[in-house]
Amino acid sequence: METVIEAAVALLDESGESALTFRALAARLGGGVGSIYWYVSNKDELLDRATDHVVAGILADLENMRDAEDPIDNIRAIAETVFAAIVQRPWLAAYFMRNTTIQSNALELYERIGEQAMRLDLSPRQAFHAVSAVLGYVIGVAADLGQEPPQEVIDGTTSREAYLGRVVDQWRALDAAKYPYMHYIVDEFEGHDDADQFRSGLELILAGLRLQAGRGEDATSAESSRG
C-alpha cells in the first residue's frame, strides 16, 4: 500500500501529472494493472492519497520549525513552506484540500495555521476567513506559477527564457496609450522571480491581517477601513 502511493508520487515527481497512469504505475511496480485496484478504488483516491502523503511530509517540516513570538511570522513561515512544496511538485496544487475525508493531513495544516490566527485574537469568523484566505492565496498562486510550460518548452524546442522573451516582446508591442499598465510593468515582469511575486502578495494579506488583529469583531469588516 505504502509502496503503491510512493511509486505514484515518484511518477508524478519525475514526469508530471500526465505520466501517472495505472499502466505506468503497474509497470513500475512490476505487477498488473488490476493489482492497484486492490489498494485503491479509484484514480481520484490514488491522487488524494498521494497528495496526503506529501502533505504529511510538509507537516513534518513544519514540526521542525520553532515557533516565533509573532503569530504572523509563523503564518508567513508556514505559507512559504507550503508554497515551496507546491512549486517543487506542481501537481500538488490541483488536489490539495479536495477531500478532507481522505486527506486528513490537510485538516492538520488548517489547524496549524488556524492556531496562529487565534493568537491574533480574531473572532471565529475572522479566524476562519483568515485561514481560508492564506491557503486560498498560496494554492492559487502556486497553481498558477506551477502550471505546465507550453509544449515547445517541454520538448526543448524553445528555452524558458526565449519563451518568456517572446511574451515580453508581445507586451512591448502593445499600444502604449491603450496599455499603460502593461508598459509600466513589463521590465519588472521580464526579470521577475516567482517566489518574490508570491511573497509580496502574501505580505499584503498579512498586513491586512495585522490590522485586524485584536480589534474585535466589528472593526473587522474592511468596510470600516474604506475611503
Q: Output the smallest distance, CB 47 to DNA, in A.
A: 9
- If the CB atoms of residues 44 and 152 are measured against DNA, the closer one turns out to be 44
List the Cα angle 211/217/223 in 5-degree steps: 65
- Binding segment for DNA (CB under 7 A), chosen from 30-38, 53-61, 99-107, 111-119, is 30-38
CA atoms within 13 A on the CB side of 78: 29
Site for its own copies in 136-175 (CB under 8 A): 136-141, 143-144, 147, 150, 167, 170-171
Count, residues in the chain = 227
- Please identify which residue in 14, 111, 169, 217 interacts with its own copies, judged by CB under 8 A: 111
Partner from DNA, its own copies, none contacting 212, C-beta within 5 to 8 A by type = its own copies
Binds its own copies (CB under 8 A): choice among 35, 201, 213, 215 = 201
Angle formed by the axes of helices 104-118 and 71-88, nearest 10°? 150
One residue of 14, 23, 152, 217 binding DNA per CB under 7 A: 23
CA-based angle 138:71:103, to the nearest 5?
Answer: 45
**Are 58 and 82 within 8 A, CB to CB?**
yes
CA distance 213 to 72: 10
Only one residue has cell 476562519, namely: 128
Q: How far is CA 221 from the centre of its chain?
A: 26
Q: Is 16 helix (H, G, I), strand (E, B) or coil?
A: coil
Candidates 1-9, 16-24, 84-92, 93-101; binding stretch for its own copies (CB under 8 A): 93-101
The contact pattern for its own copies, residues 23-62, with x = CB under 8 A and - = no contact, is ----------------------------------------
State which residue, 9 or 139, has the beta carbon closest to its own copies: 139
CB of 158 to its own copies, least distance (A): 13
Longest CA–CA separation in the chain, Å: 65
Query: What are the residues binding DNA (CB under 7 A)?
Result: 20-24, 29-35, 37-39, 41-44
